Homo-oligomer: A and B are copies of this chain.
């Protein structure tokens, strides 16, 4: 008897959508990519070459695709603003959903999706924070969990992109919710993972500048920002995001405990080569996040597939996706108003700091 495979469709074939489609097509043995949707002509051409010959049916209409006979799941990698709507429609059709982060840059919309998922508990609905699937982060988590660093107390994490001077970037930025919502959500998600996701925020402060992408100023956004999120119970996370790196992608995390610390990617590197010349010893770095996290995305596809086929829990709680966007929005507010935000032990906004 043959292997049962998950029949999945890919929505969106942009930069990240193509990768998800290929990963489900070629790198997820228990899945079968049966359909793909894109409204875009160039992306359709790409799909005719790269997907169709492997038996993937192409659509320019999302609703038509999710009605395909026998379809069981959909991976959503369209533009952020339609994530929620597409996820809701898929759930209505009884499909399992893997949605690119974030569900929405708006907390209330995130909540709608989470509520809809709660109403259909037999469906697996996951919002993909790729770093949770990275083998280095997992190794660090296991070491922390085994007590190697005592009680985790301080969390430092940064998402730093290589400077992209192309016009694409500003266009993208106009709808991404701001640097903390677009970039730091990854670091916030990691903080919740390593600290435990039942933490209550105590205060939020931030500062930022638009140093090289000066067009961001008109959008009220920054290309370099730092923020501190203090939690009740004696834990602190601090963050840095940047779109200004000259050398490449540099996403680094430190988990500092009472008995030691773990550092993930303290020495970014593209591969294992060092070049010794009269300029010194040179190490190159990955040019972008997919250079760093490619295999994490492959693990994500496989684990989502396994959770559906084996009816086990998905590795990430969907409700986390709300909290991450919520904290990201707090940081964004702290950044744009210049004010520090305070919360009481119940997590409610208050006017003055509680000590």
Contact = CB atoms under 8 A, between A and B. Distances in A.
Interface of A: 1-3, 25-27, 29, 53-55, 135-136, 139-140, 143, 148-151, 153-154, 156, 203, 205-209, 211-212, 224, 226-228, 230, 234-236, 238, 240, 242, 244-248, 250, 256, 258-285, 337-340, 342, 352-355
Contacts of A206: 228
Contact of A205 (B2, B279, B340): B340
A279 B240 CA distance: 23
Contacts of A352: 339
A246 B262 contact: no
A22 to B, nearest CB: 9
A340 B228 CA distance: 12
A179 to B, nearest CB: 13
A246 B267 contact: no
Nearest to A266: B274
22 contacts: A3-B54, A139-B271, A149-B246, A151-B211, A154-B224, A154-B240, A156-B240, A205-B340, A206-B228, A246-B259, A246-B261, A246-B277, A247-B261, A247-B277, A247-B279, A247-B280, A248-B280, A261-B275, A263-B276, A280-B285, A338-B355, A339-B352
SS class, residues of chain A in contact with chain B: mixed
A276 B150 CA distance: 12
A151 B224 CA distance: 13
A244 B258 contact: yes
A224 B236 contact: yes
Contact of A281 (B205, B264, B283, B355): B283
Given A140-B273, A275-B280, 18 more contacts: A2-B54, A27-B27, A150-B246, A153-B209, A153-B244, A154-B209, A205-B207, A205-B340, A226-B238, A244-B258, A247-B260, A260-B275, A260-B276, A260-B277, A261-B275, A261-B276, A262-B273, A264-B272
Given A54-B2, A228-B226, A240-B154, A268 B256 contact: no
A31 to B, nearest CB: 11
B247 A236 contact: no
A282 to B, nearest CB: 4
Top-5 shortest CB links A-B? A338-B353, A205-B205, A340-B340, A260-B277, A136-B272
Contacts of A3: 53-54
A211 B275 CA distance: 20
A97 to B, nearest CB: 24
B340 A339 contact: yes
A38 B244 CA distance: 52
Contacts of A236: 207-209, 224, 226
Nearest to A144: B275
A226 B265 CA distance: 21
A3 to B, nearest CB: 4
Q: Looking at A205, A270, A353, which has the most chain B CB atoms within 10 Å of its CB?
A: A205
Contact of A263 (B209, B244, B273, B340): B273
A174 to B, nearest CB: 20
Contacts of A55: 2
Contact of A209 (B234, B272, B338): B234
Contacts of A149: 246, 275-277
Contacts of A228: 205-207, 226-228
Contacts of A212: 258
